[in-house]
């Protein structure tokens, strides 16, 4: 079974003990497990420990919903910016830069945005007729580039849910778009030479018949 690192995010417990938990969405963990991947939970810890994790991992998954801090791509937070976690940003950015030449990487939601920023790309708040974030569950369609991993897995079109406030305003030079929303916003990308994929939609919230093919394709690259 392949070992894939999954970075946790911190969550404060309710009550007087003020314990800080490291956690991740259970549906993501279940999705990896049902596709013969052993998730290795990586807590937010000392940056000095990261090489020890990478030494025995076969791949890396970055996921989550927290906005990537605009400071990392030369901008300032706006009224549309959600809660930030600068410690998580620094931890994941350092981990990604160590892993990017060593391991296959899959970025989901926040993870995709982090890959773009780490490569020199930028983000911006979404102002579109297409609803990408709102109360309840939002849906929109994707147009997939035929030769991309999205086109090969899903054909020309896919309906996904969406919950991100920010989108890619400038794509990193080594990345190429794989899927776009109807407003032109890039919703998936792939690296031109490395086994690195990113999707801005919550893959693990899709049904198994839609989420599993992408995870199985990622596993084949491990």
**Domain residues for 122?**
2-220
Structural domain total, the chain: 1
pLDDT of residue 201: 94
Please return the burial class of 129, using the count of CB atoms within 10 Å of its CB with bins 0-12, 13-18 and 19+.
Answer: exposed
How far is the C-alpha of 93 from the C-alpha of 99, rounded, in Å?
10
CB of 195 closer than 8 Å to CB of 58: no
Q: pTM score, two decimals?
A: 0.93
pLDDT of residue 13: 61
CATH number of the domain where residue 102 is located: 3.40.50.880
Task: List, run by run, the mean pLDDT of 10-residue segments along the chain (222 residues).
Answer: 90 63 86 96 85 93 93 93 91 95 96 97 88 78 97 97 91 98 95 97 95 98 96
């Amino acid at each position: 079974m392949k070992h894939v690192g999954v970075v946790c995010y911190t969550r404060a417990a309710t009550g007087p003990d003020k314990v800080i938990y490291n956690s991740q969405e259970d549906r993501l963990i279940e999705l990896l497990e049902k596709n013969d991947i052993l998730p290795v939970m990586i807590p937010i810890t000392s940056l000095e420990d990261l090489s020890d994790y990478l030494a025995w991992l076969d791949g890396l998954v970055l996921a989550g919903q927290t906005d990537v801090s605009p400071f990392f791509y030369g901008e300032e937070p706006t009224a549309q910016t959600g809660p930030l976690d600068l410690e998580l940003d620094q931890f994941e950015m350092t981990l990604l830069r160590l892993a990017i030449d060593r391991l296959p990487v899959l970025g989901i939601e926040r993870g995709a945005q982090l890959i773009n920023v780490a490569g020199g790309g930028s983000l911006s708040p979404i102002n579109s007729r297409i609803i990408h974030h709102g109360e309840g569950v939002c849906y929109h369609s994707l147009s997939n580039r035929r030769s991309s991993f999205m086109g090969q897995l899903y054909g020309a079109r896919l309906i996904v849910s969406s919950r991100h406030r920010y989108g890619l305003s400038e794509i990193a030079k080594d990345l190429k778009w794989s899927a776009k929303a109807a407003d032109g916003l890039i919703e998936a990308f792939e690296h031109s030479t490395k086994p690195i994929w990113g999707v801005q939609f919550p893959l693990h919230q899709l049904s198994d018949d839609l989420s599993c093919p992408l995870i199985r394709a990622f596993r084949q690259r491990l």
